[in-house]
Every structure is written in structure tokens, then in C-alpha cells.
Amino acid sequence: MFGYYRLASAVPQLRVADVDHNVDQLMAGFRKAAEQKAAAVVFPELSITGYSCGDLFFQPRLREAALDGLRRFAEATEGSGTIAVVGLPFLHEDALYNTAAVVQSGRVLALVPKTVLPNYREFYEKRQFTSGRELGTGTREATVNGARIPFGTEIVFHDASSFSFSVEICEDLWSVIPPSSRLALQGARAIFNPSAGTELTGKAAYRRELVKQQSGRCLCAYVLSSAGVHESTTDTVFGGHSLIADNGRLAAEGERFGRESTLILADVDVERLAAARLSESSFNDSKSLSPAGNALHLTLPEEVPAAPGLEYAFNPARPFLPSPAHRPERCEEIIAIQTAGLAKRMEHTHARRLVIGISGGLDSTLALLICERACRALKRPASDILAVTMPGFGTTDRTHGNAVTMCRLLGAELREIPISECCLRHFGDIGHDPAERTTTYENVQARERTQILMDLANKTGGLVVGTGDLSEIALGWSTFNGDHMSMYAVNCSIPKTLIRCLIEHIAGESSPELASTLADINNTPVSPELLPPSGDGSIEQRTEDVLGPYDLHDFFLFHFIKYGAEPDKILYLAEHAFRGEFQPDFIRRCLGIFIRRFFCQQFKRSCMPDGPKVGTIALSPRGDWRMPSDACGTVWEKDISHR
């Protein structure tokens, strides 16, 4: 559903050279995978016989039993669209090959031979097997149990939808240029690797990184199943390492050294992989290295099952947030990028001061913290920061107090310039009744504040530091030529959900008083404070009451920009990610707001100021997002209304 397919890696409990027992175990593993609606399941290398048979592979009786076992296994898959990849030795034209059989719905579709044969330390495969490279880049046919089927190294399997895959075997992945690199360029979006890697100290970590890196390099899913502990232990031990990776991310990993059969599953978004290949020019630039004509493109007789849900999917509700395990490191890296960008701009412009408007809200807080870091990096005093608080009609004691406290603790120069009286004069100049709390009432204040900051920068030889974040830029939630404008926008590629995370990280390294202030800022409702407070002095104008939660908008932004997900798919993913938190109808309404605002507010992004990019998603018209200001969002809005 929506391009998701469930992939499986199985490690059965095998016996060396006991084909009947092994096939029984393979059939049991296949049934479990098929019951889970897996699109495909891969078993270990030479799994029908066992990998460690050695010179027994020369015995005709073992090879005959393996072919009969493959026939019996294929019959057991009858009626199922789930693909199975199983391994067996295969004699072809007086040469013995280590092969993987691709099976679907009672049929053996093709045999793929191993290309790179290890011949070192504990592995001596060249003693028994011939490399599939000798077959040439094109494919041949072989007779398997009376049927002529494709036999070759470069085969890309496709179903009628978006699912496509290829196979490489164990050592192929460890080679200088793995076959999977070419196969991915020829259209395979998933790679299955039946493997038999021995366990040595540190080897599992290296194998894991290889699988992750290859899935990232090839923009594909990569599924590996390695032989388990029931292989021969004459000189080595096999651990049964099973791995599923997705575009550089480890999606699932099985526990090694298990005594029972195991099965791991991951729901992988194949459409997302296709979108990544479309936008990553380096992928398509490499296609000349592996012409598509070299591969056989084989259509599957049946469509593989789509994932029935997202039970095994990686679908975080807050995709911009670093994982808890890596959060401190990632936060420091983001802050370092922001700091380096601002410090360079200070040096280049010979800025004597950093001029920043401070409201006591999230965005200006992070921007001020970055200003302090930049001054520190340049060995300049924090007093070079001119922090300006400009209380207006909606300023509350809470935000004003936090702004003042933070500036004092950081050592920035604080200047307070109230704007209410000059705004009232301006209302008179343009003939606006201040009792009318319209957009004009709000934008006059935002532009007055920006004018003050720009003029102070001129007066002091300063640089106006912008505070707006990526979420606001996406939604156009800023006043054109007001808070929309600055001389360098340090938060321009940081979404609102990540702003809170970064402030929390800095708070954890700060003095108790500053940490307490930052915590209160993080807990303050998001507001531009342009409308008067409520009767008790608390914030009346809450941004998320108007737009909807930033948690949702950041989720929409991530999937819309990074992977080009259609509205229907975004809704499906959001309903799953926020199940129990937001109702589906509410999510749909918020997505409608996101789409409408994203399209109609592009004109603000077309002339946005410079700022540092910290992640893969940014909306700069110069380096990241190129969209005409007059583009219509009707096509996307229709998807939402018709759902």
C-alpha cells in the first residue's frame, strides 16, 4: 500500500547435507513470511544443502537431491505471490555454480550464480565452484527440473507495480564493485543477498556497515540472510546474521547465534527510494557505467503482495528529531553548522555588532544562543550582540521577562524599544482604525520591528540576524519585509520541532538559571504576540490554534519535500504516526492548510535571505527549492478533498 512492501530475512535451522530436513525448514520459514504478507523472503547461501558441505558438492547424489529439494520447495509456494530466494549448488555445462534460485507461486523463475568467489583463510570456494562472471554480462538459460529458465548474474525482476529486485550472493557485496551497484543502476530497488558469513570478532559490525552503506549508495533496500549456527563448526562458527537496510538506515536486524529458526521483517517504502533516485543526480549520472541493455528484465508472473500495514515500518511522528541515542552529537553538529555560518558572515561583512530582535519565543531564543556561540568562536565578547526587545500590543510579562533574563545571563547588550506609540501613529498615517484587529494591525508591528533592527544595524555597523525557522518559511507564517527579512537567517533550515530540541540540548549544558529560563521558553505557547493578551495577561494569540500543530506541519513538510509523497500517502503515514494523538479528520484539515499555504506563500521564499543549511531539507530558492511563485496547488488540494 502506497509503495510499501514487507521484506523478510529468514535463518532456518539447517543440517549439513540433509536436504529433506533443510527443505522442510525452508518451507516453514516461507509459510511464516507469506502469512505476514511479505513481498519477498531471502534464505542463507546454499540453504538447501547447507553452505559448509565442502567437497561433498562434487557428489552427484547431493546435487540431485538439491534439485529435487528445490522442486519440492517450489511446489510448496504454489498460490502465493511472495518471492523466495533459496540457495543450491548447480551443475551447468561441466561447471559447478553456487546459485540462488528465485521462486514464486510454484515456479522457479531464474537461477543467479555467485560472481565473486572467496579463496582465502577459511573460504576455498574456487575449489568447488566457478564464478558466474564466466557466463558473460548477458544471461543464458539452464534446464532446472525439466524447465528452461534464465541463468545469469544480471537479472532484474519486476512486478506490475513499483516492486523490482535483483540478487547477489555473499562475497559479491564485499568486492570492490559489487554486482548490486550495477543492478541498482539497471532498475533494482531491492537487493537480496543469501550469505554465509562466518563470525569473527568485529566482523558483524563491519558486515552491518557494508549493508547499510550499500543500501545508501544504491538508494535501495538491501536484505541479507547469513548461515546460522547449525552449519559445520569444523574450523569456523556461523552466526545467522540477518539484516535489512533501507537507503543507508538499518531497518531490522536479527539476533545472532540463535538456536531456533528466525525471521525478521521490515516494511520498506519503494516509492520513496524511486523518488530519491529521481532527485539524486549522481545516481542517474552513473547509469553509463552499467548500460541497461546488459541486464535481463524479467516480469514476475504474479504481483507481489503489498505491505498490509506499517507494523514494521520506520515512520517516526517527528522525523526531523535525531534519535535519542545520537541526539547530543547531532544537536552539537547542527549548532556548529549554524555557528560556523554566522561567524563567516560576520568576518566577511566586518560586522561590528550582531543585531537581533528578542521576543522570548523559541526562534529568537535559538538565534540569540547561536549569536553567543559565534562571538565565542571569533573570540569576541557577547556584548557585541545588540539584543533588542520591542514590546508591543501583544507582549506578555512572561515572554518579556524571559527575554530580559536570557540576555542578562548571556552577557548580550539589551536595549528595549517599545513600539506601541509609533504603531498607533502609523495607523493614523495610513487611516487604519486600531480597533480593527486585522492583518494590517499585526503586520504594522512586525514591519516596525524590522525597521528598528535594520536602522540599528546601520547605526552600529551591525548585521541583523534573522530568527524565522523552516516551518514558518514553509507555511509563509511571516510578514513580508517584516520578520521575513534579515541580513543572515541562522534558523532558516531548522523546523519548529527541532528548535525545541536544540534549545533543550543547550539548556542541558547551561547554568541552572539559564536552563530554567530556556525550559520555560520551550514550554511557552508559540505566538507572534501581535494581538493583545487575555484578561489574565496570558498569551491570547496562539499560532497552532490557527495553523494546527507544528508537529503535523513538520511531518507534512518532511514527506512532501524529501520524497515527493502525494497527499493521500502523507495522510496515510500521518494517521499511522499520530494514531491516538490526532484524529484523522483533524489531520486532513491541517494538511489542507499546509498545501494551501505552501503554494500561495512561495513569493516570500523567492526572496528569502541567506542562511545555513543544516539538513537535507531546506527551501532556499538558490540552492534547494525552485518553484515559481505563481504555481497552483489545485492538483494536491483535490487529493485531500476527494479522500
Give the model confidence (pLDDT) of 447-465 as tens digits. 999 999 999 999 999 999 9
Spot the catalytic one: 37, 45, 492, 569.
Answer: 45
The percentage of the chain sitting over the pLDDT mark of 90, rounded to a whole number, equals 91
Mean pLDDT of the chain: 95
Is pLDDT at 545 greater than 60 in this prediction? yes
β-pairing verdict for 413-416 and 249-253: unpaired
Spot the catalytic one: 53, 170, 220, 501.
Answer: 170
Q: Which H helix or E strand runs over 585?
A: helix 584-600
Whole-angstrom distance, CA of residue 332 vs CA of residue 505:
8
CB 206 within 8 A of CB 172: no
CA-to-CA dists, residue 179 to 141, 142, 192, 276, 289, angstroms: 20, 21, 11, 21, 12
| CA 444 to chain CA centroid, nearest Å | 40
Q: Residue 297: which pLDDT band, with cuts at 50, 70 and 90?
A: very high
| CA 77 to chain CA centroid, nearest Å | 34
Spot the catalytic one: 114, 496, 569, 604.
Answer: 114
**Cell numbers placing 318:** 517527528
CB-based burial, 7-26: b 16+ in 10 Å, e otherwise: bbbbbbbbebbebebbbbbb
State the DSSP string of 244-268.
EEETTEEEEEPPTT-SS-EEEEEEE
The percentage of the chain sitting over the pLDDT mark of 70, rounded to a whole number, equals 98
- pLDDT per residue over 201-235, tens digit each? 999 999 999 999 999 999 999 999 999 999 999 88
Whole-angstrom distance, CA of residue 530 vs CA of residue 420:
11
- pLDDT per residue over 142-171, tens digit each? 999 999 999 999 999 999 888 999 999 999
- The pLDDT value given to residue 476: 97
CB 640 within 8 A of CB 593: no
Whole-angstrom distance, CA of residue 13 vs CA of residue 401:
66
Q: Residue 122: which pLDDT band, with cuts at 50, 70 and 90?
A: low
Q: Closest Cα to residue 374, out of 333, 345, 408? A: 345
Instruction: Verify whether residue 114 is a known catalytic residue.
Output: yes
Bridge partner residues of 91 (DSSP): 96
| Lowest pLDDT segment from 41-45, 500-504, 536-540 | 536-540
**Which domains, ranges and CATH numbers included, belong to the chain?**
7-299 (3.60.110.10), 324-544+606-614 (3.40.50.620)
Instruction: Verify whether residue 347 is a known catalytic residue.
Output: no
SS3 313: strand
Instruction: Verify whether residue 45 is a known catalytic residue.
Output: yes
CB 46 within 8 A of CB 26: no
What's the CA angle centered on 79, arms 75 and 85, to 5 degrees? 60
CA-to-CA dists, residue 93 to 97, 380, 462, angstroms: 10, 77, 79
More confident residue, 441 or 285: 441
Q: Residue 179: which pLDDT band, with cuts at 50, 70 and 90?
A: very high
Is pLDDT at 294 greater than 80 in this prediction? no
What residues contact residue 398 under an 8 Å CB cut-off, 6+ apart? 360, 520, 524, 538, 539
Helices (H) and strands (E) in the chain, counts: 21, 20
pTM of the model: 0.92
| CA 321 to chain CA centroid, nearest Å | 11
- The pLDDT value given to residue 444: 97
What residues contact residue 120 under an 8 Å CB cut-off, 6+ apart? none
What single letter denotes the amino acid at residue 531? L
DSSP label at 238?
B
What residues contact residue 607 under an 8 Å CB cut-off, 6+ apart? 621
Q: Closest Cα to residue 148, out of 135, 136, 139? A: 139
CB 419 within 8 A of CB 450: no
Q: What are phi and psi of 482, to 5 degrees?
A: -110, -115
Whole-angstrom distance, CA of residue 505 vs CA of residue 518:
10
